[in-house]
Amino acid sequence: MIVKSENDRIEHIEVKTTRSHDQNTFPVSIGEVEYLLQHPSNYFIYRVYYADNKDSSTIIVINTIKDNLQLKRLKLSMTIATKSSN
């Protein structure tokens, strides 16, 4: 989603939802990574916990993602989707 902030800044927002309060991992596509690298200062991930319960839901905004990765406040991981026979 692309929005214009109050100060007329364009922000790129990716929303990741979960029904849990402690699910801190989520999938990120190669397209999202490429987009993030193209827009490092105005790309945000909104992590929504308890997405199906309005009264219990919370949102954490993750910004400056590239910087946070470099400072080890965030980390990337990979999952092998299918077992290869090679």
**pLDDT at residue number 85:** 67
Give the pLDDT band (50/70/90) at residue 79.
confident
**pLDDT at residue number 25:** 87
User: CA–CA separation, 74 vs 81, rounded Å?
Assistant: 22
SS3 letters across the chain: CEEECCCCCEEEEEEEECCCCCCCCCCCCHHHHHHHHHCCCCEEEEEEECCCCCCCCEEEEECCHHHHHHCCCCCCCCCCCCCCCC
What backbone phi and psi angles, to 5 degrees, belong to 33?
-65, -45
Please tell me which residue, 14 or 21, carries the higher pLDDT value: 14
Q: What are the residues facing 63 on neighbouring strands?
A: none
**pLDDT at residue number 34:** 92
